[in-house]
Structure 1
Amino acid sequence: MSDGATRVFVDAAAAADPVADAARELIAGLGLRPWGQVAASVYETGRLVAVAPWLTGHHQRIAFLVRSQRPDGAWGPPEGYALAPTLSATDALLSALADGRTGTELLAPVAGGLGALADMLLRADARTLPDTPALDLIVPALVDTINDRLAGLERAVADRLPRPPLPLPAGLHRDRLRAVRSAVAAGATLPPKVAHFYELLDAVPADAGPTLTAVGASPAATAAWLTAVGPAAGPAAHAFLRTLIRDGGGPVPCPAPITVFERAWVLSGLRRAGIAVNPPASVLESLTAATAGQGIATGDGLPTDADTTSVSLDALARLGHPADPASLWAYETADGFCTWPGEDGFSVTTNAHVLDAFGQHLTRHPGADARYRRAVDRLSGVLAGHQRADGAWQDRWHASPYYATACCVLALAEFGRGAAAAEAVDRAAGWVLNSQRPDGSWGRWDGTAEETAYALQVLLAVPTTVPRVDDAVARGHAYLHESATRDHRPLWYGKELYCPTVIVRAAVLAACRLATDRVSGVDRSVVDCGYQATKTTT
């Protein structure tokens, strides 16, 4: 029987299981939409409005920005996470207002955005801003652009807007932006990850050409390049953008494509929860580059990284296709394992995923090189050493401590060694128990299905029959079932917080399966947590 892009096989028991059925549909979507499924991005959509108004869907993108604005004039999540999307959306609407083709209906949203920015920027401090990628490039670049647009407005329009120059946050400077722009302009070889931000750099990627699909896995960077060189110079990139625009109704996601990232996280998470699905060979094959050289990247246009490589290796092993994780040695450092060489910071979730990959290898090859055993011992201590005093972990790739805590607990519970690892798992479970909300959910700002799923995975990784744990699991499971139709809050770190929708759905399904297996007397006809097949490909 041939392997079609959407063919997925499940065993007879799984076919009667609503969770497995929903998971099967998720995996079918991996083949149907190989660039990945990510919710629309305010930041990226704003950049397309500003730098590529010639692209189809321009007015739909403007409408998306207007209806996405918060009542206080800002865009995006709470706290400093609103800064990047608010800068991008305000600049975008200001550019549309300045071109004279939209009338004056954008005056109010632009005024609201400028007011929100003035307040945010005056109160912000570089030391307390979130560690989202390239925020120190995004903020000065867009502050300068907005100030330039305000200075160039016609008097009749300018007089109706607040016009004090926007300041930079205390402690944030333009030095790095100027240095990177100068280096790019001089033709210097820069790290591949810089391509993700080319819309800020006023330059053309050296490796761009007619076969390039996406610059830096970013619609904004790709659109900026196409604006500079013309659509005819990048037919593949132009076609890719048109596909994203068509599928999103005008707005675009970021990052995209996330082919390997999405497939690895979905497959690893579902199999770890015991959900029996077998993806098409083409999907499996897309993960196998993790075994070569320095591993694999999240998607085309991004550098290889230890995080995606580790989860890909874990997924392959759980699907019965284990491979030697030797490619991960390229990321070993004095502190543990970096996400990529030269990383500014330390990621506990990357190190947890490396522990998963090495642990899988040692489980199947107990006599493997002693270097792997030493790495597992070392990572067990590294993760325990980064645990917060309250029992949680926090990471630089996700805004919620529940994600980081789940990654660390799952790795330590399955592969960790030593008393410190076991103690860390118990402390994390205590933190989760103590932070459950009255409605049964968990969450950083409010209760969410995604964070509740991670919290349940933590509790269900600890072998105990304590009544309090069983009650928390039952309440959390009920919340997942009741909240399944709600939109997911963006929590993943990118230029702004974003939501990889299929990965989040897979995490919820995994938690539903684990909770169902724990909670007695549950009717299996209602344990799909509301994820019917038709909802996984919308």
Structure 2
Amino acid sequence: MSDRAVRVLVDAASTDPIADAARELVAGLCLRPWGQVAASLYETGRLVAVAPWLTGHHQRIAFLLRSQRPDGAWGPPEGYALVPTLSATDALLAALADGRGGTDLLTSVSRGLGALAGTLLAGDARTLPDTPALDLIVPALVDTINDRLAGLERAIADRLPRPPLPLPPGLNRDRLRAVRSAVAAGAALPPKLAHFYEILDAVPADAGPTLTAVGASPAATAAWLSAAGPSAGPAAHAFLRALIRDGGGPVPCPAPITVFERAWVLSGLRRAGVTINPPTSVLESLTAATAGQGIATGDGLPTDADTTAVSLDALARLGRPADPASLWAYETADGFCTWPGEDGFSVTTNAHVLDAFGQHVARHPDADPRYRRAVERLSLVLTGRQRADGAWQDRWHASPYYATVCCVQALAEFGRGAAAAEAVDRAAGWVLNSQRADGSWGRWSGTAEETAYALQVLLTVPTTVPRVDDAVARGHAYLHESVDREHPPLWYGKELYCPTVIVRAAVLAACRLTTDRASGVDRSVVDCGYQLTKTTT
């Protein structure tokens, strides 16, 4: 049954299609416990380059060929294209070197090299986005591409541009060399670096037959298997085969994202008032957030304050509140870090910590005063990080609409002081002033995801201003009309990626808030553009 057919049946059979769609979404959390993430250009390129023996190799090459942009690059706009373009270009060069040459590959590689040399590597490194380990990935792939070009057979090499690719001004190989040297000397690999195993030249001595995924990354897992041999990691091999089968060849990243997906989906839906009844197993998978230093996004990744805080918020909203003491492990002089030693500051992590502490204080007026002080402190931290135009920007998402909705919701529900209320009003003003002519919102173009966040901001602010009602109505219409549009990648990983179920839950949440505000909306169209993914056969 098609997605659209399922949606039509749901609309026809129920008086609350949003709740029905939410139940379907939540059911999928169990059926696909590794999470649902759109195909990754970077990770798929790495599998082509480091693991051509894996099933689906030709499908992955075809995916890269059809995903290339008209300008020769791959991926999102601006500097976000650098990492996926390096990976795809290197992957197709590897296929050429393996004797799988052809006009399509040669043309694609030539165009990729042109994009890299022409614009993507020419800008100053300080203008590049702060995606994780960019200072490791870029020099590693530039060197690999240059080595492949130097080693090509003359008959092929003469048909490609061959100047050595430079590093962007301001970027060097120092950290990559240091990390590789430390690993070669036997230093233990920090958990967060395992996510980038495919570029570390590490000896596969720190895992065994029960390993499922290295660093929650198909590329890292494939690199480990290529070095250790598929028979050395049967569970990891099975994990990759499952991802490949689900994606038809291309693979997602990150994966698995079990806890991250469940926490964001459940917290977002309940916050918007959507009725859900998650299976006990799903709820129990979040309870590790209450112990030690909390919980990780998924197997293979370190624990972090962001996933821990959202898990605690979800549990509280579903009637299982727990003491958020595990979050104290992440307190710093500036607020709360995502993980100890984080290079940078995340406003969304701090907004989510405010949610978790705020929930606890609201339920326990006699709680340790330390929690109340943290709520007051985080109110100041977030308002102090607001941009002059009223928005927030974060290091885990390319769109300011995501950061803004996280901060607005936390401050509106749990913020303390007049500054918090003023910050929320300023954010709503920014959202109103940035709506597009077609009713959407978005950084580069209008998207359903960003429109959902913008609507949630406006619907969080208690107001009867006619201008807000008009903006909400236009945004609602855009969501309904965008049912067949794909969600572009906006979340920070090695490249931008799209956690599809989390995004769909955000759209559903916006639909619930919109229809609750405008009770006269026709109930037959309140899906608001949510494209239901059937997770059962």
Distance (whole Å) between structure 1 residues aligned to residue 161 and residue 348 of structure 2: 43
1:102 shift after superposition: 4.0
Report the CA distance between 1:128 and its aligned residue: 1.0
State the Cα distance separating 1:534 from its structure 2 match. Answer: 4.4
Whichever residue aligns with residue 56 of structure 1, its letter is T
| 1:296 alignment partner, SS class | coil
Rounded Cα–Cα distance in structure 1 between residues aligned with 2:534 and 2:170: 45
How far did 1:121 drift? 4.1
* Letter in structure 1 aligned against 2:36: Q
Partner of 1:366: helix, strand, or coil? coil
More displaced 10-residue stretch of structure 1: 184-193 or 253-262: 184-193
User: 2:504, 2:531 within 8 Å by CA — same for their partners in 1?
Assistant: no
Dislocated runs of 4+, deviation >6 Å: none
Q: Is the 8 A contact 2:204 2:227 kept in 1?
A: no
SS in 2 for 1:354: helix
1:461-516: CA deviation from partner (whole Å, max 9, x where unpaired)? 00000000000001001101110220001000000000000000000000011011
Corresponding residue of 2:5: none
What amino acid maps onto 2:213 in structure 1? A
| Change in 2 beyond 3 A, CA 1:529/1:150 | same
1:457 alignment partner in structure 2: 456
1:373 — aligned with what? 372
> Is 1:513 the counterpart of 2:486 in the alignment?
no
Deviations 1:182-208 (A, max 9, x none): 111111124210000000001135531
Partner residue, 2:211: 212
Distance 1:380 1:206 in 2: 46
Mark the CA change 1:42 to 1:89 in structure 2 (over 3 Å): closer, same or farther: same
Q: Which residue of 2 aligns with 1:75?
A: 74
Query: What is the alpha-carbon distance in structure 2 between the residues aligned to residue 122 and residue 292 of structure 1?
Result: 44
Match of 1:111 in 2: 110
Shift of 1:125: 1.0
Question: Which residue is 2:242 aligned to?
Answer: 243
How many matched pairs? Answer: 525
Counterpart of 1:359 in structure 2: which amino acid? Answer: G
1:139 and 2:138 aligned: yes
Asked whether the equivalents of residues 197 and 221 of structure 1 are also in contact (C-alpha less than 8 Å), the reply is yes
Look up the match of 2:173.
174
The answer (yes or no) to whether the contact 2:346–2:395 under 8 Å persists in 1 is yes
TM-score by length of 2: 0.96
CA distance in 1, matches of 2:525, 2:441: 21
1:324-374 Cα distance to aligned partner (Å, 9 max, x none): 000000000000000000000000000000000000001111110000000
CA distance in 1, matches of 2:103, 2:227: 29
The DSSP-based 3-state class of the residue aligned with 1:106 is helix
Name the CA distance, whole Å, in 2 between partners of 1:278 and 1:436. Answer: 34
Instruction: Provide the secondary structure at the position in 2 that maps to 1:304.
Output: coil
Q: What runs of 5+ residues in structure 1 fail to find an aligned partner?
A: 1-13
Q: Which residue of 1 aligns with 2:7?
A: none
Letter in 2 for 1:298: T
**1:105 shift after superposition:** 3.0
What amino acid is the match of 1:480? L
Moved more, 100-109 or 42-51: 100-109
- Displacement, 1:124? 1.6
In structure 2, how many angstroms separate the alpha carbons of the residues matched to 1:295 and 1:440? 40
Unaligned runs of 5+ in 2: 1-12
- For 1:369 and 1:177, locate their aligned partners in 2 and report how far apart those are by CA, in whole Å: 44
- Contact 2:136-2:176 at 8 Å conserved across structures: yes
- AA partner of residue 350 (structure 1): T
Shift of 1:27: 0.5
The answer for the alignment partner of 2:23 in structure 1 is 24
Question: Separation in 2 of the partners of 1:438 and 1:15?
Answer: 33
Cα deviations by residue, 1:274-315 (Å, 9 ceiling, x for unpaired): 001010000001000000000000000000000000000000
Q: Counterparts of 1:399 and 1:429 in 2: how far apart (Å)?
A: 19
Residue type matched to 2:191 in 1? Answer: P
Q: Which moves more between the two structures, 97-106 or 493-502? A: 97-106
Offset, 1:521: 1.6
Q: What's 1:163 paired with?
A: 162
- CA deviation profile, 1:84-137 (whole Å, cap 9, x unmatched): 000000000010011113434310000000000001344221111100000000
C-alpha offsets along residues 149-179 of structure 1, whole Å, 9 cap, x if unaligned?
0000011000000000000000000000000
Moved more, 226-235 or 180-189: 180-189
Q: Is the 8 A contact 1:21 1:533 kept in 2?
A: no
Query: Normalised by the size of structure 1, how large is the TM-score?
Result: 0.96
What's the counterpart of residue 3 of structure 1?
A: none
Of all paired residues, the percent bearing the same amino acid is 90
1:189 counterpart letter in structure 2? A
Query: For residues 236 and 84 of structure 1, what CA distance do their matches in structure 2 show?
Result: 29
